[in-house]
A and B are shown apart, each in its own frame.
Chain A
């Protein structure tokens, strides 16, 4: 069972420069969803939701 597509796996055939370029382009595109990102993806504050952010409905929980 392949958990990622062939395109995803093709990262391994990229040179260092191609990998950096791929990330840079993806990072540019990914900026469009910034307002909808959770406030934390790592660390111990991951469950915290900050009032006033898009999608937040509660005080600090």
Chain B
């Protein structure tokens, strides 16, 4: 019995580190939660990395799911590429790739591919970067953030935890000089309810920021997706689908959508 997504990570990286496991499967790696049926990777932003991924996926008889082509012209603009194939047991394997994951500085994402790879090590995103990526629209991600934050040293946990009780516990020793609003509230004569309300407001702001970011891509990708759906490309083998996806994207998918408004940074350490 194996984790198919851990195995895919090793397969992608067999000729050099190009793919960093993130999101739900990273939460599995950190032994926080088993709640994701998909695999997500931060991909090195290079033509060679894209070529390697397509090679591996083609060997698994994968198909594109509707999304951007796996090409740095669009990945560099923050678009995502999506694939699916059945494993030998007929289970649905979904693979999603980005080179510019949300809320992660581009230099930080690039940094994952610097330096020599450690033999035998599963390439997984760091805890704090994982937490930043999980600040999505989905409420369930914030419960996972709270559990991931517990794995951090206390002076870092206070910057990320979504648990009002942990904030109250950590504030006496680690709350000074923390700009995060729920922590500032906890440093006053606040009740647990006050801290919980501040955390809820922070979560709502983060959710809205992510929703706003996605609305920009949704608008920019609408025409492309309509043409993609009509084309039947996603039912084709990758060798045939990929060049056709590129031609469609060259015509209809802007590589760089208009930049989103500044994302909510409340709770993000500076």
Contacts and interface: CB of A to CB of B under 8 A. Distances in A.
Same complex origin of A and B: yes
Contact of B147 (A4, A31, A48): A4
Nearest to A46: B214
A26 B218 contact: no
B1 A41 contact: no
Q: How many of chain A's residues touch chain B, expressed as a range?
A: 35 or more
What is the predominant secondary structure among interface residues of chain B facing chain A? Answer: mixed
Contacts of B221: 44-45, 48
A12 B137 CA distance: 27
A47 B218 contact: yes
B222 A60 contact: yes
Interface stretch (B49-57, B74-82, B201-209): B74-82
Contacts of B164: 1
B33 A8 contact: yes
Contacts of A23: 3, 28, 34
A57 interface: no
A51 B228 CA distance: 13
Q: Which of A1, A23, A28, A37 has the most CB of B within 10 A?
A: A23
B3 A4 contact: no
Contact of A41 (B24, B162, B163): B24
A60 B226 CA distance: 7
A42 B1 contact: no
A49 B143 CA distance: 25
B91 A42 contact: no
A21 interface: yes
B3 A60 contact: no
Interface in B125-170: 136-137, 143, 146-147, 162-165
Contacts of A31: 37, 91-92
Interface in B49-103: 65-67, 78-82, 89, 91-92, 96, 98
B23 interface: yes
Contacts of A42: 23-24, 38, 40, 80, 96, 98
A-B pairs with lowest CB-CB distance, top 5: A43-B80, A44-B217, A24-B1, A21-B1, A11-B31
